[in-house]
Amino acid sequence: MNLVSSILFYFAIAFICAVGLAFAAVVVMFIIDRTQTSDAVRRNYPVVGRFRNLFTELGEFFRQYFFAMDREELPFNRAQRDWVKRAASGKGNTVAFGSTRDLTIPGTAIFVNAAFPPLDQQAAKTEPLQIGPYARQPYDAPSFFNISGMSFGALSRPAVEALSRGAKKAGIWMNTGEGGLSPFHLEGGCDVVFQIGTAKYGVRDADGSLSDDKLREIAAHKQVRMFEIKLAQGAKPGKGGILPAAKVTEEIAKIRGIPVGEASVSPNRHPEIGSMAELLDAIHHVREVTGKPVGIKTVVSEDSAIRALFEEIRARGIESAPDFITLDSGDGGTGASPMPLIDLVGVTIRESLPMVSDLIVEFGLRDRIRLIASGKLMNPGDVAWAIAAGADFVVSARGFMFSLGCIQALKCNRNTCPTGITTHDPRLQKGLVPQDKFEKVAAYALMIIKEVEIIAHSVGVTEPRAIRRRHVRLVQNNGRSVGMDVIYPRPKL
């Protein structure tokens, strides 16, 4: 009994102390809240008012798990994320009891099944497609679905490693993003597209101008198959890349050629490219120095700029054209961006892709310029729609982030990503194991390819790139669907 009494006595003392400390903390917070002048709610409702901020912070998580329906959330809903999760896990993606998708929403794409589709043994199969016939080293790209630009810096080291290994296993390319070429892009052995951003990270001189010697160093890597000059990206058209100072580690600074611990803000455009003529000069220069295909990445909101580019190509000759155009969507979003740009600037890929594809056909460049679609295209139906609209290839960034385990925590720009994908905090990076995640990256890519081939087979063609606009109908405001070839007719040549 003495022992029990002693334990109870010390427990009571500890409890009283804890209550006392808690009471003291409440008193201190009360005084702070009542005397501060920056927050009216906390000033009028001391202590209790603090819960408003807490619930605001946690609201996005509560909505995601408890309140939002499967197809309600933005930027990606639960149904989209779950599809990627199942695909990345290698699980079957069959579902029961019908679709949960509302097929009456305007703009919904519905594929037209063939009356007599090819037999099973004639299943659709992807064929390689050459890019850059006028380059010394053209690229025969094996897959229509690939990894979009995400830089080392925006992504963590283990994330880049997993993507590189997964891309190699799936037979797809990986775009470096504007942050330069790191050893982690190369270690998996995949094909790489090197992106030249406006700051020219990885290929810049001390003054920030383009270095031909460094271009040659990058091109000497056999894995680097193409170069992409970034003019704009969907998250922030007209604004350069933003890498917060907390993410500029010594390693990242060395690869980019910038100071450690200082925010990395790229110019809003290439200073030396101020016209379509100068753009074609830059493309020609990089192609001559590297010997490899060179294209551009941009956002298009109306046709005058692209039309001016194609007019300049017509004047110079077909060999002067970019080998590819990566068309990003106004609702792209892996990069950190000011809200007005991410919300309001740039039309979506749903509008710009048919427009640019038609201009390519109008100017007789269909077999010269490969069109790559980017921006929220991470499920089979979206990818198949893009191909039908005119894309030769589709690239995804956020789809592959989901395959790595992204939970849409919306912390990408804060260095606090809970899944280790977009943080350089070693403690958080431990959660992402490349040896496991690369398998998921590959499984996701291969499932996309497989299911787009299934759609192609269903509409009656034997290769995904044979899907045409006539194979797709778009739902209108009255609930009826109209053929995409009627809404977006091809130019008559």
pLDDT given for residue 426 in this prediction: 83
Mean local confidence (pLDDT), 384-400: 95
Percentage of the chain exceeding pLDDT 70 = 84
Q: What is the pLDDT of residue 230?
A: 94
- Least confident range of 62-71, 162-171, 292-301, 406-415: 62-71
Q: Average pLDDT, stretch 402-412?
A: 79
pLDDT, mean over the chain: 85
Average pLDDT rounded to a whole number, residues 64-72: 53
- Banded pLDDT at 346 (limits 50, 70, 90): low
Res 467: pLDDT:
96
308: pLDDT strictly greater than 90: yes
pLDDT one-digit tens code per residue, 438-477: 999 999 999 999 999 999 999 999 899 999 999 999 999 9
Which pLDDT score, from 0 to 100, does residue 317 have?
Answer: 96
Task: Please determine, for residue 336, whether its predicted confidence score (pLDDT) is greater than 80.
Answer: no
**pLDDT, position 239:** 60
11-61 confidence digits (pLDDT tens): 778 888 888 888 888 888 888 888 887 666 677 778 877 776 666 555 555
H, E, C per residue of the chain: CHHHHHHHHHHHHHHHHHHHHHHHHHHHHHHHHHHCCCCHHHHHCCCCCHHHHHHHHHHHHHHHHHHCCCCCCCCCCHHHHHHHHHHHCCCCCCCCCCCCCCCCCCCCEEECCCCCCCCHHHCCCCCCEEECCCCCCCEEECCCEEECCCCECCECHHHHHHHHHHHHHHCCEEECHHHCCCHHHHCCCCEEEEEECCCCCCCECCCCCECHHHHHHHHCCCCEEEEEEECCCCCCCCCCCEECHHHCCHHHHHHHCCCCCCCEECCCCCCCCCCHHHHHHHHHHHHHHHCCCEEEEEECCCCHHHHHHHHHHHHHCHHHCCCEEEEECCCCCCCCCCHHHHHHCCCCHHHHHHHHHHHHHHCCCCCCCEEEEECCCCCHHHHHHHHHHCCCEEEECHHHHHHHCCCCCCCCCCCCCCCCCCCCCHHHHCCCCHHHHHHHHHHHHHHHHHHHHHHHHHHCCCCHHHCCHHHEEEECCCCCEEEHHHHCCCCCC
